[in-house]
Amino acid sequence: MNQFLIKGGKPLSGEVAVSGAKNAALGILPAALLSRDICRIENVPCVNDITVLLEAMEDLGVKIKFEDNNHTVIMDCRHIKKLTVDYEHIKKIRASYYLLGALLGAYNKSEVALPGGCNIGSRPIDQHIKGFEALGAIVDIEHGMIKVKAHSLVGVTIYLDMASVGATINIMMAAVMAEGVTQIENPAKEPHIVDVANFLNSMGANIKGAGTDVIKITGVKRMHGTEYMIIPDQIEAGTYMVASAITGGDVTVTNLIPKHMEAVVAKLHEMGVGVEEYDDAIRVYKKEKLKNIQVKTLPYPGFPTDMQPQFTALLSIAEGTSIMTESIFENRFTYTSDLSRMGASIKVEGNTAIVTGAAELTGAEVNAPDLRAGAALVLAGLAAKGETLINNIQYIDRGYEHFEDKLRGLGGEIYRITEKTSKEAFKVI
């Protein structure tokens, strides 16, 4: 038993600080292998995906120490003892494939268990394989393992058929010590792409153009250790911004980069939500009745697919009919049936959700089908009248650090139910 119990209907207020970017950390931590040295990485989020990744890297021979309440990770990558990642739990996280590119770039060989992650639709690794093979590697998939090896890696121009975040990061890592120049055309441009590139450059790589239409990588002979701080998590920041909007609250989200939040801010403005931007913070507050809008998820700098479920929850209490179109993943509306149990009126047609605003949401028992959908159900529960019980919150733990603690700090009544606790202990029901 691992559940969230929420008593909703109370506007959130106060300040909440954003943790380090999970998606950046999942690329940066494996990239440290390329240094064959000691790296000190700060602002690492304490979430389950990071724990699993670090345990797998320890199994490879990386020596890991923690500081600053586990938010600083010191990695000694000088004594790697194997290049096969078969740690059982690594199959549960999608980012396991970053160990492929990092080990291939550092040692010209790697074997990693096929990745898992949230079931939000097809996320093939064909673009990763295409990039590795273009650089000169031989790729085999057998017995649930991806095996990559190369006599040597040589720079080449690689055009990605789609702007894949994972493939962009993996190719960058594999190419940093390849002979000559590698160009990635049509790369992903997300903030964590730039963060991984900056980290690699801090270790001695020569990468230019991250965040633009073409990334140019000039191979270097060797890399070295470094100290680096991970950027704030734009999706966590967006989640708390929507939490304020959906509860009619007044919340200032701190430790963020406003530039990364432009698409979310634009849609909140369009809905009639009050938004004030500062150097490293954004205040979100109730201004007028929520208006219906149209949203379409797109690669960065467009509206992020990882904010789609949270925003759909917000649209469910806006006046009129809104349209949410999902253009990235084909299976990302599974949570809408649970929102409907809470009083939302949502009709899904293919990759589009037609959302008719309800006067209010009401508490119910629901199931989190994946990470971001789970967060959306939490937000709906905070806005709903009565009590909401959310099952399968292990998905939420994969990507949000101290989620319930931060929400309680804003006045939210949310409690974790485990085998050692009971509903009665919280005197909520």
Triad 290, 331, 145: Cα angle to 5°? 140
Told to judge if 46 belongs to the known catalytic residues of this protein, a careful annotator would answer no
Q: Structure tokens of 308?
A: 């789609």
Closest CA to 40 of 79, 74, 85: 74
Selected catalytic residue, list 39, 46, 77, 118? 118
Q: Are 294 and 315 in contact (CB under 8 A)?
A: no
Query: Distance between CA 223 and CA 225 in Å, rounded?
Result: 7
Q: Are 358 and 346 in contact (CB under 8 A)?
A: no
Query: Distance between CA 238 and CA 372 in Å, rounded?
Result: 11
Residues 6+ apart with CB under 8 A from 124: none
DSSP labels, 223-279: ---EEEEPPB-HHHHHHHHHHHHHTT-EEEEES--GGGGHHHHHHHHHHT-EEEE-S
- CA distances (Å), origin 379, targets 8, 282, 313, 382: 9, 18, 7, 5
Query: Distance between CA 245 and CA 293 in Å, rounded?
Result: 14
Query: Distance between CA 256 and CA 274 in Å, rounded?
Result: 18
Closest CA to 142 of 170, 171, 111: 111
How would you class 24 by CB atoms within 10 Å of its CB: exposed for 0-12, middle for 13-18, buried for 19 or more? buried
Q: Helices 22-31 and 98-107, interaxial angle, to 10°?
A: 20
What positions carry a catalytic annotation? 118
